[in-house]
Amino acid sequence: GAGVSQTPSNKVTEKGKYVELRCDPISGHTALYWYRQSLGQGPEFLIYFQGTGAADDSGLPNDRFFAVRPEGSVSTLKIQRTERGDSAVYLCASSSPLGSGANVLTFGAGSRLTVL
Amino acid sequence: QKEVEQDPGPLSVPEGAIVSLNCTYSNSAFQYFMWYRQYSRKGPELLMYTYSSGNKEDGRFTAQVDKSSKYISLFIRDSQPSDSATYLCAMRSGGSYIPTFGRGTSLIVHP
């Protein structure tokens, strides 16, 4: 596609429920990132994929958070047993293959998660 | 202390003003410096990136990096109401592909 697509754009759920957020990166981009942005804050790194594998998942806050990218394209961020503190905008970004320049990230519009 | 510090503002200026936005950082390994603009309820979009120290100009925008002071700036000339947004600085080291972001500065340009 022309840009990074994220679905759903908005998700309201109840505390304790399971949530999946989807990211469709720019075609041909091998690197994919998930960030979380709370109100009034900058994006906070969660996980980075290079191809199908998670190259760095050091930003995942705990084991309730998990992400996959089984075919090296679409990625899903999964949150189990959601808590009110998980409420934030979850941003996905992709970048062109390594070695092709400054590795600039292109972001999607985000998925706004509200946990009641 | 965070690795990247950025004043959240808001910064309110009249149309046509020169705007100066800044970030400081603590990690001397940072080599790539970026500025993103984020409109309300949108994802960040890249404005400029700079490698190492020096200046870079693109239209009304100028990015400056002073690695000796660990200080970066974005200048906007002839600011327009459409420039009203949150400006995020981001940076990464040469050995990492993961940018670290500042918290963003909210800019309001009033007609």
Q: Check residue B53 and give its pLDDT.
A: 85
Q: Check residue B95 and give its pLDDT.
A: 83
pLDDT tens digit string along A66-111?
Answer: 999 999 999 999 999 999 999 999 999 999 865 555 678 999 999 9
Q: Does B14 touch chain A (CB under 8 A)?
A: no
Q: Does A2 touch chain B (CB under 8 A)?
A: no
- The mean pLDDT value for B53-68 works out to 94
Q: Do the chains contact at A42 and B46, CB–CB below 8 Å?
A: no
Q: Do the chains contact at A110 and B43, CB–CB below 8 Å?
A: yes
Q: Does B8 touch chain A (CB under 8 A)?
A: yes
Instruction: Phi first, then psi: give them for residue A84, nearest 5 degrees.
Output: -60, -30
In whole angstroms, give the CA distance from residue B37 to residue B43: 9
In whole angstroms, give the CA distance from residue B97 to residue A104: 9
Question: For residue A44, what are the β-bridge partners?
Answer: A36
Alpha carbon of residue A115 to chain centroid: 17
Q: Do the chains contact at A95 and B97, CB–CB below 8 Å?
A: yes
In whole angstroms, give the CA distance from residue A53 to residue B4: 28
Q: CA gyration radius for chain B?
A: 13
Q: Do the chains contact at B97 and A42, CB–CB below 8 Å?
A: no
The angle at the Cα of B16, spanning B59 to B36, to the nearest 5 degrees, equals 50
Q: Check residue A101 and give its pLDDT.
A: 58
Contacts of B104 in chain A (CB under 8 A): 41-42
Given a contact cutoff of 8 angstroms between Cβ atoms, the answer to whether B77 and B60 are in contact is: yes
- The mean pLDDT value for A109-115 works out to 98
Residue closest to A65 by CA, chosen among A54, A57, A55? A57
Of A48, A91, A104, the CB nearest to B46: A104
